Amino acid sequence: VLRESVPVLLGFKPAVDAHRIATGVKVNGVKTEPIIEMIVMKCIEMFAEAIPGVIIQLMAITNAITTATTTDIEDKEVTVG
């Protein structure tokens, strides 16, 4: 477990995965092939990184709509009042 954790903690996991796939290294005790593991991890990573980005964009859009609505209401109050 420690041997697999060190590259993850240092940020070298993608390089280690690419090396394993390129050389065709078989790791003892692993039930899946490195290419399948890499595909699954990249899919999980893609969605895990996309979710916060979507939330930030939705917050920015909501803030822009709220600001525009507030400005419109204030403009109408000045014009009428």
Q: What is the pLDDT of residues 64-74, one digit of tens each?
A: 877 766 666 66
The one-letter code for the residue type at 24 is G
Widest CA span in the chain: 78
Element of type H or E holding 62: helix 34-80
Q: How far are the Cα atoms of 21, 26, 33, 46, 70 from residue 39, in angstroms, in the given order?
A: 11, 17, 10, 11, 47
Between 66 and 7, the higher pLDDT residue = 7
Helix-strand-coil split of the chain, %, nearest 5: 85, 0, 15
Kindly report the pTM of this predicted structure. 0.49
Average pLDDT over residues 57-63: 88
- What was the pLDDT predicted at 24? 80
- What was the pLDDT predicted at 79? 59
- What was the pLDDT predicted at 76? 62
